[in-house]
């Protein structure tokens, strides 16, 4: 059975309500029953509010203790599962690698990395991402959304980056 079907059936008994309406029509829905870890819930909600202000639409998902993966959210526009990572260090290589690895484990298609503080090198983040993609890692991931310290948001199509890597020599 396909992972998406398994994930969808897990949330059949969960109801959701609109928690936040963004400036450009985006929304954040949260679960009415279930929970996420308290410190994770608030950080995830703040990241999704920034995206909702840009018009994005997300549904936060509760943790379900059944031995399966627990993505943090569901993108209502793309219909894809999302994992949210809040960077707690400035080590660019570690930020990107741990976020991408964890999102892959969660069977997510999208990873959101919120950078509350500037990493030591954006260039190193990109190089690290590019190297891992070139090595064939993170196959389930299609979209990387980065929320920078100034709340500017960039959405990267990982399949496009993979294609670019195939066409260009590695540095």
Q: Stretch 151-164: mean pLDDT, rounded?
A: 96
DSSP states along 63-121? ---SSS---SEEETTTTEEEEEEE--S--HHHHHHHHHHHHHHTT-SEEEEE-SS--S-
- The CATH number of the domain holding residue 42 is 3.40.1350.120
Lowest mean pLDDT among 6-15, 20-29, 83-92, 150-159: 6-15
> Using CB atoms within 10 A of its CB, is residue 2 exposed (0-12), middle (13-18) or buried (19+)?
exposed
Q: How many domains does the chain have?
A: 1
| Rounded CA separation 56/134 (Å) | 29
pLDDT at 7 (0 to 100): 57
Specify the pTM.
0.91
| Rounded CA separation 45/33 (Å) | 16
Angle at 103 between CA 109 and CA 84, to 5 degrees: 95
């Amino acid at each position: 059975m396909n992972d998406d079907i398994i994930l969808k059936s897990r949330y059949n008994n969960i109801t959701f309500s609109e928690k936040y309406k963004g400036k450009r029509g985006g929304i954040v829905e949260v679960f009415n029953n279930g929970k996420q870890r308290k410190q994770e819930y608030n950080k995830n909600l703040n990241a999704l509010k920034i995206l909702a202000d840009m018009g994005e639409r997300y549904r936060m998902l509760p943790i379900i203790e059944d031995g399966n993966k627990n993505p943090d959210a569901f993108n209502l526009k793309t219909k894809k599962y999302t994992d949210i990572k809040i960077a707690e260090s400035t080590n660019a290589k570690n930020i990107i690698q741990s976020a991408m690895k964890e999102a892959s484990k969660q069977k997510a298609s999208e990873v959101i990395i919120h950078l509350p503080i500037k990493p030591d090198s954006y260039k190193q983040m990109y190089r690290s991402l590019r190297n891992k993609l070139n090595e064939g890692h993170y196959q389930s991931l299609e979209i990387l959304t980065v929320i920078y310290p100034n709340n500017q948001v960039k959405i990267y199509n990982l399949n496009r980056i993979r294609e670019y890597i195939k066409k260009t020599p590695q540095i």
